[in-house]
Amino acid sequence: MEEGQPLGWFEQLYEKADSESVPIPWADLVPNPNVVALFDERGIKGEGKLALKVGAGLGDDAEYLDALGFEVVAFDISPTAVRLARKRFPNSRVEYLVADLFQLPEAWRGRFDFIWESYTLQVLPPDLRRKAIGLIPGLLAENGELVVVSRARSEDDPEGEMPWPLLESELRMLERVGLDCLSFEDYTDGEAPPVRRFRSFYRKASDHLSGSSPGKPP
Ligand SMILES: C[S@@+](CC[C@H](N)C(=O)[O-])C[C@H]1O[C@@H](n2cnc3c(N)ncnc32)[C@H](O)[C@@H]1O
């Protein structure tokens, strides 16, 4: 990440990966297995519901939501990522959009029945991460649900290198901006080498009208 460019490097990385045909470090080209496991456990189906994929990358997670029956909006700050996702899934029903989480359309506020966030918060520096955590609940419709998966650390662990593992206290902020936590797991996944992760699942509290504003149109 270049100094003073906490968001600009994503497009640079996708552009370089595309032009030089090198792999993108986080793009496994399959739906995130940590989230798929939660979908399976909870028997989540999407018929009649609108889902949002945050930081959609090359599109595998968004396509998985589509396969579950959701209508899907998937956005990424990188125009190249969005172009590549559309190219990989040319007949997709998913609406792939270039958008910045910090400047989303006002019309998205309170619109989504389901939001999937995996691995985007952990590539944001702490100030932007906290801002993002404050924004995401405002995008949910009443009773809307959110899944978040990230790397995990304890308060006394070193911050480490990017992708920076999250603290439980950072995710607990979601419960102060209008979400009920339905499950919170702190576990080690089956990757080699294994990674400690948080996987949490929320529902928008019906008596809470809004989180923070998602901001102005891009
Ligand atoms: C580490 S990748 C994770 C991609 C995908 N969510 C996954 O699990 O494989 C983070 C993604 O978020 C995107 N991103 C970063 N900051 C963003 C922002 N402010 N708004 C929208 N997308 C963003 C990046 O371009 C990148 O595709």
Q: What fold does the segment set 8-204 form as a domain?
A: Rossmann fold (3.40.50)
* Cα–Cα distance measured from residue 42 to residue 130, given in angstroms and rounded to the nearest whole number: 28
pLDDT at 205 (0 to 100): 83
Residue in 7, 9, 10 to alter for ligand 1 test, most ligand atoms within 8 A of Cβ? 10
Please, which pLDDT band fits residue 5 given cuts at 50, 70 and 90?
confident
Boundaries of every domain in the chain:
8-204
* Cα–Cα distance measured from residue 99 to residue 215, given in angstroms and rounded to the nearest whole number: 12
* Cα–Cα distance measured from residue 94 to residue 72, given in angstroms and rounded to the nearest whole number: 5
Structure tokens at 30: 């399959």
Which has the closest alpha carbon to 139: 184, 168, 174, 172?
Answer: 174
Instruction: Encode pLDDT of 16-56 as tens digits.
Output: 999 999 999 999 999 999 999 999 999 999 999 999 999 99
Where do we find the tokens 């809004």? 210
pLDDT at 213 (0 to 100): 44
3-state secondary structure the chain: CCCCCCCHHHHHHHHHHHHHCCCCCCCCCCCCHHHHHHHHHHCCCCCCCEEEEECCCCCHHHHHHHHCCCEEEEEECCHHHHHHHHHHCCCCCCEEEECCHHHCCHHHCCCEEEEEEECCHHHCCHHHHHHHHHHHHHHEEEEEEEEEEEEEECCCCCCCCCCCCEEHHHHHHHHHCCEEEEEEEEEECCCCCCCEEEEEEEEECCCCCCCCCCCCCC
Q: Cα of 207 to ligand 1 centre, how many Å?
A: 31
The more confidently predicted of residues 193 and 217 is 193
Please, which pLDDT band fits residue 208 given cuts at 50, 70 and 90?
low
Please state whether the predicted TM-score (pTM) of the whole model is above 0.85: yes
Pocket around ligand 1 at a 6 A CB cut-off:
7, 10, 26, 32, 55, 57, 75-78, 81, 100-102, 118-120, 123
What is the pLDDT averaged over residues 121-142? 96
Asked if residue 210 has pLDDT above 70, the reply is no
Asked if residue 71 has pLDDT above 80, the reply is yes
